[in-house]
Amino acid sequence: MSKAQQNDARVIPQTKAPADWLQEVTPEQRRYRDRLTNHLTPRLPTGQERREVVDYIMAKHKIAKQERWMEETYYDEYTAMPLVVFDHYETHGFAYEGKLLLAVSDYDPALTEAYIWRNGKVETIDRLHRQIEHKAKAWQKRLAGKKTQQAA
């Protein structure tokens, strides 16, 4: 064995595989795996979802109905801009759980738009971030109040 092989052998220790690695997957493990796979698998948006997003954008930015075709070209099924929907998106802390539509710009992948459905209506994701930040600030105030009470 050469010096290089000896160094490699010391860096990567040889370990035995766990004894249960060949055991059959239990039904509970299979359900968990399937649930995770279904939650993380995107799909193409339906025509109804595209229309709801366009309606939301037009109402938010007060775009005239005559210019609707411009917004529809960004979100139609023939556009180069990738659109995907995650049906079971969930944020940490459970601030939101539901459908998420992501639109990635065909110009620059750093430019993305995200839309969620809350109570059957479309919202942009920035509204969700504001709510999460509001909750975080409330918790910080509570913790600061408890620290001052403990110090007194």
Q: Is there a domain that residue 1 lies in?
A: no
pLDDT of residue 20: 63
Q: How many domains does the chain have?
A: 1
Q: Is there a domain that residue 68 lies in?
A: yes
Strands (E), 4-148: 83-90, 97-104, 112-118, 121-124
Q: Is there a domain that residue 124 lies in?
A: yes
Please give the single-letter amino acid code of residue 105.
Answer: S
Other C-beta atoms closer than 10 Å to the C-beta of 84 total: 14
Alpha-carbon torsion (20, 22, 27, 30), positive or negative? positive
Q: Is there a domain that residue 36 lies in?
A: no
What DSSP state is assigned to residue 95? S
Q: Is there a domain that residue 59 lies in?
A: yes
Please indicate, yes or no, whether the overall pTM of this predicted structure exceeds 0.85.
no
pLDDT of residue 112: 83
pLDDT of residue 80: 66
pLDDT of residue 8: 53
Q: Is there a domain that residue 27 lies in?
A: no
pLDDT of residue 128: 56
Q: Is there a domain that residue 23 lies in?
A: no
Indicate the helix (H) or strand (E) that contains 135.
helix 125-151
- Give the range of the structural domain holding residue 108, as residue numbers without chain letter: 41-145
- Of 61, 58, 52, whose CA–CA distance to 83 is shortest? 52
pLDDT of residue 19: 63
Alpha-carbon torsion (118, 124, 129, 131), positive or negative? negative
- Of 37, 43, 39, 38, whose CA–CA distance to 102 is shortest? 43
pLDDT of residue 57: 83
Q: Is there a domain that residue 151 lies in?
A: no
- Tens-of-pLDDT digits for all 152 residues of the chain? 566 555 555 555 556 656 666 677 788 877 777 776 666 788 888 989 988 988 888 888 788 888 887 777 777 777 667 889 988 887 776 677 889 999 888 788 888 888 999 888 998 877 556 666 677 777 778 877 776 766 66
